[in-house]
Chain A
């Protein structure tokens, strides 16, 4: 297995290299100029040119690229053009809100979706199944920001139960930390709940028709044991794959959710950097996200062997 893990980690290097080249070129070839933004509304073309020169943006593309790759090779992601602070530090500052939101969302989605999916499969064809599937289609179709605004109107402005926006660090106030996460988690989690519930139902339906389930029932095992220990366990590989894919999809959802609820995470950092053309920050964030994506995929692959002993690396 260690050979497999090492091979997979080494295989990420060329992937990251390709990502780096594409990101760099896309950003430099797309319109926009941080010097013009820095200079502000009252700036003359002369002022903008001076700032561009100071930032090194007037140098040839290849020179800028080589310089950036050289920095990356030493683990330096460069400095933000605006803040003149290390990009890695900025990313690390934003990790807590995004990590917290992602983790709570995944927990929320899995805790809700798996039992719902199992229930729908167990009661396939009944009104329960139909209601669950209809609701999952709805949750899947409504945009995250709309769910977010609806939750704010309902739970913050009308019932005054939860805060509208913001984030409080776990270390600062654990209660406020969770209170601030409830609405963004629900807004973001509903889509994943729907996705995981549908996959759980589909795979459970397949497993419930297998011979070994019939045998288990014939042996007199109770329905809960049949459903959870026998059926769900055997259906878990596709469910785990979906959860893993969901984590990758989550990155896109986090960007919107963080904006709606003013959560200062990686998503907001990315949007702000894109709007301001803060090249080093955009490049750094995309590289880190790509790395996380590769890592999550690796972890999911490794999980398969825990769930299904027939899978070996």
Chain B
């Protein structure tokens, strides 16, 4: 017994320094004023330009502001901007900033901050790079006004500035001068919340407090546009890699908001009176089967068409999503059905699978039963499920499938490998994308067919590149429509990727949480606890 007491005393002695540090902790915010959220990933990178990871983008929406933002009709609306003029036949955009914008360090937001932030973003973001290619100069005229002068007409300037995923977030000039290849670790923005660095515990908790100096727009919040009113004093992001734990915590009321409840549990959650499911993303997510365009057989469009003929989207959706209310039985658009750009022209032959046609096309493409290397991410439930459906469909068509199971991190590096599929490369992998950014041909990253400059899989079709450029130049929606139809038709011929279905991922909140915006992504302004 004495020995046990000694051990206990030793344990308490080891913890003594922790007690001593009690006085250094800031006072706890009240539970009623704090929104506790389980986020989908661990926030490690604070720079939304250096990485394109979703979690860094969502962090950025809290602490930074954007010049423009999309409303629920996917129209760019002024956010930090007071307004703009389009001059010289669409070659000059003169933008004026709102009065009273301030960074978290108290300094005013100036045009020069905007100019440098835009340049950094344009060197990294896919749509930013396209904007850079048509931009002659970006110049600050005074503290509140700047100009973007184009070399040629480009109808997507405001869309690019308002793009929901990886938009140009405005940072102070001295921070934005950091090269885009170097991570910014400072967190001075002008957004509705302030990052509380001293309470940041990577891998566990990220804390934001309300920015008392933020002046929201007077319009009501609408999608990502309108007034960003912070109605809670504090937002705590908690990272719980175990979904069962997160669900139990939501059930017990320890958390208020679960960003990505597993789709398997949606029906159970829907029956719980204390929890509400909210579909915040009207457009949703689209599945992507990405063939490797640089190696046989998928370097031949006929083989890619064969792949498309093997896909019944509903099969994938039943396995990946389950609940029919959360998915569409078929979407034949590369630009998200329901987005306004969701033309399905050209998809008619692929609405139902045609195994015989697929076999014939594979033969014509020169496929002779060589192993097809499919990368299977076993630690991503949704991707793993979709990959298993794909494997089954390929085998049913007589394709010799070489399944290579790995974790997602390995897959990310493997898919960037251009080697022969049997020497570290691959033939097929599965991923997803979605939202309004995917709905625009130039910002739909997996639709990029710029060969070596395209995303892994390296889709290559100059005709599509030209069509997308034509669409981008055109500012008139009526004139864009036929171009978009031609693009979608051409895409179903060359198949940069095969869409395997469009679905929604609802968020789950406690019943006392109100004002959750249907903004496509989780945002934390406008939310209150009652």
Contact = CB atoms under 8 A, between A and B. Distances in A.
Chain A interface size, as a band, is: 35 or more
A272 B240 contact: no
Interface in B4-42: 4, 7-8, 11, 14-15, 18-22, 25, 28, 42
Interface string A153-174: 1001100100111110111101
A42 B52 contact: yes
Mostly helix, strand, loop or mixed at chain A's interface? helix
A307 to B, nearest CB: 9
Interface stretch (B61-69, B110-118, B200-208, B300-308): B200-208
A39 B453 CA distance: 15
Contact of A111 (B4, B56, B431): B4
Interface string B381-423: 0000000000000000000000000111110111110100000
Nearest to A110: B4
A82 B45 contact: yes
Contacts of A114: 4
A65 interface: no
Interface string A47-82: 110110110000000000000000000000000101
B204 A163 contact: no
A37 B15 contact: no
A161 B124 CA distance: 50
Contacts of A174: 19
Interface in A240-262: 259-262
Most buried by A among B28, B246, B418, B455: B455
B60 to A, nearest CB: 13
Chain B interface size, as a band, is: 35 or more
A41 B433 contact: yes
A84 interface: yes
A63 B242 CA distance: 38
B51 A38 contact: yes
Contacts of A160: 252
Interface in B196-251: 201-205, 238-242, 244-246, 248-249, 251
B294 to A, nearest CB: 11
B184 to A, nearest CB: 10
Contact of B7 (A106, A157, A260): A106
B107 to A, nearest CB: 24
Contact of B245 (A103, A164, A269, A276): A164
Interface string B427-463: 0000101000000000001000000111110100000
B325 interface: no
Interface string A106-117: 110011001000
B412 A33 contact: yes
A36 interface: yes
A300 interface: no
A264 B18 contact: no
B453 A46 contact: yes
Nearest to B432: A41
A40 B52 contact: yes
B252 A164 contact: yes
Interface of B: 1, 4, 7-8, 11, 14-15, 18-22, 25, 28, 42, 44-45, 50-54, 56, 124, 126, 165-166, 181-183, 185, 201-205, 238-242, 244-246, 248-249, 251-252, 254, 379, 406-410, 412-416, 418, 431, 433, 445, 452-456, 458
